Amino acid sequence: MIREMCSGERKSTNILKSLAEDLHADVIPKRWRRFNIANITVTEWIDDFKKRIDQLQKLSSSTDFGKKGGLWFGGLLFPEAYMTATR
């Protein structure tokens, strides 16, 4: 949506402007902070989210449930971080 707003394909709204300002300042937008999360930048948050999604994709296509390739337990043991990331 932000990309569409910047390219003129989508009409600008206050919500999109606020989201763009937060992302530009490398701050996690307030709307994404429904759950308590670590005090990190949006860049770190997106990197963490990507790692969680990559692991889920790897596990879903694996027949051994991560036994051979290893498993990142932190990506599974903190469901509040995953829920925040998927919002």
Q: Annotate the chain with three-state secondary structure.
A: CHHHHHHCCCCCCHHHHHHHHHHHCCCCCHHHCCCCCCCCCHHHHHHHHHHHHHHHHHHHHCCCCCCCCCCCCHHHHCHHHHHHHHC
CA–CA separation, 45 and 47 (whole Å)? 5
pLDDT of residue 12: 86
**Positions in the chain short of pLDDT 70:** 35, 65-66, 69, 73-74, 76-87
Tokens linked to 3: 């990309």
pTM, two decimal places: 0.59
